[in-house]
């Protein structure tokens, strides 16, 4: 079958493309904004990319168009598909109906930590010899690709609560029918499609309702929203993490080394080459989910000791002029605060320069703007790209005083960071997009 994917360079749809090609399909696709790492992955796999959404792409005559959720009514190619009555389906539905139906699906959901936890879980199962298929919203360094299909009965997937497509406003994860589900946390996000936190909780409730009795929900014990979801109905098994009565972490005995216990009984030590308590919690969530799939905790701990992390998650890009430059996907205030706290633990008294782009729809709408200044508390200097916002970034960041600067031009932003940075500093770039090519330009400027 020949499938043509609209919005192919998004992390999820790019993963769909890789999996479909592995399943033997002919795959082509198109997108308006092409940037690494997804574009290079697709090109390396020989998947043909078309720039833009020209209507002439219907002349490729694919058997099926697969539509990404970034594609809206008014898109010229989508309108042509609808006018001609050509066959189409959303990415999550195609994946769920075509490839996941006979799999033991391990899904990782929640507002924060999905990509890292999904990558950890896939690596644990790989290390245990189970050779899982997976689809991750990033590139796990242990694998080098964001998605793959195998003959294994296990498939690990990052389960997003965002809506499925223009034609299906349910959350993506409702198509996956998981047997093991991690709920890391639930906060308000995606203000462009959800009116409030209660609406998001309802989608999670619908997900839990699809799970069989022998399935397992692995939930963060301290998360109030997750508790409200499960209180509305749970027909499956439940396992908690971050609880003294279930999976818990002790205090670090050395940098990156922390005891793990279950119901007060020692299970070994977690050795993780990733900073931050949030990543340690991601790890024990993955460990608990892997145990449901038959992997012993001691095996999981051995695997996690060799976990190399994920691209764009506190990824060290280089050290020009003795200045450490990191790339991170953080964009929600909670994630920004956690990422900065993790870097502060690593950097000690050294200066941290936060360079960030409020790019997500939630941030552009200003829904979380009141939390932004506090989220940046661990940064010595903060440089914000304020173009395209519906709110005044200078006013919002005023509580930081002279520590914060706002630029409406990326070139000016780079110049300001270059002027402020000095040897020994840590520069943390945070954006959930390409940031106008800032990463490479800033490295060159600092060099």
**pLDDT of 36:** 66
- Please give the tally of structural domains in the chain: 3
Q: Do 300 and 319 belong to one domain? A: no
Q: Do 124 and 223 belong to one domain? A: yes
Q: Do 196 and 330 belong to one domain? A: no
Report pLDDT digits (tens) over 278-301.
999 999 999 999 999 999 999 999
CA 153 to chain centre: 24
Report pLDDT digits (tens) over 108-167.
999 989 999 999 999 999 999 999 999 998 889 999 888 999 999 999 999 999 899 999
Domain limit, last residue, from 305, 334, 353: 305
33's CB contacts (< 8 A; 6+ apart) are 9, 434
430's CB contacts (< 8 A; 6+ apart) are 328, 329, 330, 331, 336, 339, 354, 355, 356, 357
Q: Do 294 and 165 belong to one domain? A: yes
Q: Do 115 and 243 belong to one domain? A: yes
Task: Please report the DSSP string for 41-65 in residue order.
Answer: HHHHTT-EEEES--GGGGGG--SEE
Residues 328, 369, 347, 402: is their CA dihedral positive or negative? Answer: positive
Mean pLDDT on 205-229: 96
Tell me, yes or no, whether 48 lies in a domain.
Answer: yes
HSE value, Cβ hemisphere, 13 Å, CA-based, for 393: 19
Give the domain CATH number at 85.
3.40.50.720
**pLDDT of 193:** 87
Residue 29, domain extent: 2-91
Domain limit, last residue, from 273, 305, 337: 305
224's CB contacts (< 8 A; 6+ apart) are none
**How far, in Å, are 22, 117, 142, 308, 391 from residue 147 at the CA level?**
10, 15, 12, 17, 37
CA–CA separation, 402 vs 332, rounded Å?
23
What pTM, to 2 d.p., does this model score?
A: 0.85
Q: Do 110 and 247 belong to one domain? A: yes
Q: Do 288 and 321 belong to one domain? A: no
Average pLDDT over the chain, rounded to an integer: 93
Q: Do 413 and 386 belong to one domain? A: yes
Mean pLDDT on 204-221: 97
**pLDDT of 137:** 87
CA–CA separation, 97 vs 89, rounded Å?
11
Give the domain CATH number at 405.
3.90.190.20
Mean pLDDT on 41-45: 82
Give the domain CATH number at 207.
3.40.1190.10
Tell me, yes or no, whether 310 lies in a domain.
Answer: no
Confidence of residue 25 (pLDDT cuts 50, 70, 90): very high
Confidence of residue 258 (pLDDT cuts 50, 70, 90): very high
Asked whether 59 and 86 are in contact (CB, 8 A), the reply is no
CA–CA separation, 382 vs 417, rounded Å?
9
Asked whether 391 and 369 are in contact (CB, 8 A), the reply is yes
Residue in 339, 281, 271 with CA at minimum distance from that of residue 305: 271
CA–CA separation, 366 vs 360, rounded Å?
10
Q: Do 293 and 339 belong to one domain? A: no
If DSSP states are collapsed to H, E and C, what string results for 346-389?
A: HHCCCCEEEEECCCCHHHHHCCCHHHHHHHCCCCCEEEEECCCC
Report pLDDT digits (tens) over 88-113.
999 999 999 999 999 999 999 999 89
Domain limit, last residue, from 26, 57, 91: 91
In the DSSP assignment, the letter for residue 100 is S
């Amino acid at each position: 079958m020949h499938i043509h994917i609209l919005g192919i360079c998004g992390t999820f749809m790019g993963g769909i493309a890789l999996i479909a090609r592995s399943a033997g399909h002919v795959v082509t696709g198109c997108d308006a904004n092409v940037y690494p790492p997804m574009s290079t992955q697709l090109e390396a796999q020989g998947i043909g990319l078309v720039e833009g959404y020209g209507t002439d792409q219907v002349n490729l005559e694919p058997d099926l168009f697969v539509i990404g959720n970034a594609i809206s009514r008014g898109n010229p190619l989508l309108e042509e598909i609808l006018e001609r009555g050509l066959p189409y389906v959303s990415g999550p539905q195609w994946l769920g109906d075509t490839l996941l139906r006979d799999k033991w699906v391990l899904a990782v959901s929640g507002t924060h930590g999905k990509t890292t936890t999904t990558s950890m879980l896939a690596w644990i199962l790989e290390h245990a010899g189970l050779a899982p298929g997976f689809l991750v919203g990033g590139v796990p360094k242990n694998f080098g690709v964001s998605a793959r299909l195998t003959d294994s009965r296990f498939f690990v997937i990052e389960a997003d609560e965002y809506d499925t497509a223009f034609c299906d406003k349910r959350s993506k994860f409702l198509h996956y029918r998981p047997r093991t589900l991690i709920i890391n946390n639930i906060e308000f996000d995606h203000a462009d499609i959800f009116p409030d936190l209660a609406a998001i909780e309802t989608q999670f409730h619908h997900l839990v309702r699809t799970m069989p009795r022998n399935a397992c929900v692995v939930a963060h014990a301290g998360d109030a929203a997750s508790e409200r979801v499960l209180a509305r109905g749970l027909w499956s098994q439940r396992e908690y993490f971050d609880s003294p009565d279930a999976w818990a972490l002790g205090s670090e005995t050395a940098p990156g080394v922390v005891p793990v216990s279950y119901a007060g009984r020692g299970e070994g030590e977690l050795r993780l080459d990733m900073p931050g308590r949030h990543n340690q919690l991601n790890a024990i969530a993955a460990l608990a989910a892997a145990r449901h799939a038959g992997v012993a905790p001691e095996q999981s701990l051995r695997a996690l000791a060799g976990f190399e992390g994920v691209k764009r998650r506190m990824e060290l890009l280089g050290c020009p002029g003795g200045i450490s430059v990191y790339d991170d996907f953080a964009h929600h205030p909670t994630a920004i605060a956690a990422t900065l706290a993790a870097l502060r633990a690593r950097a000690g008294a050294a200066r941290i320069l936060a360079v960030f782009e409020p790019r997500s729809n939630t941030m552009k709408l200003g829904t979380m703007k009141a939390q932004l200044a506090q989220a940046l508390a661990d940064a010595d200097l903060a440089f914000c790209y304020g173009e395209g916002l519906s709110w005044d970034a200078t006013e919002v960041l005023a509580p930081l005083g002279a520590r914060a600067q706002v630029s409406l031009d990326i070139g000016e932003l780079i110049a300001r960071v270059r002027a402020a940075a000095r040897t020994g500093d840590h520069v943390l770039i945070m954006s959930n997009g390409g940031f106008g090519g800032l990463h490479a330009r800033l490295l060159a400027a600092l060099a």
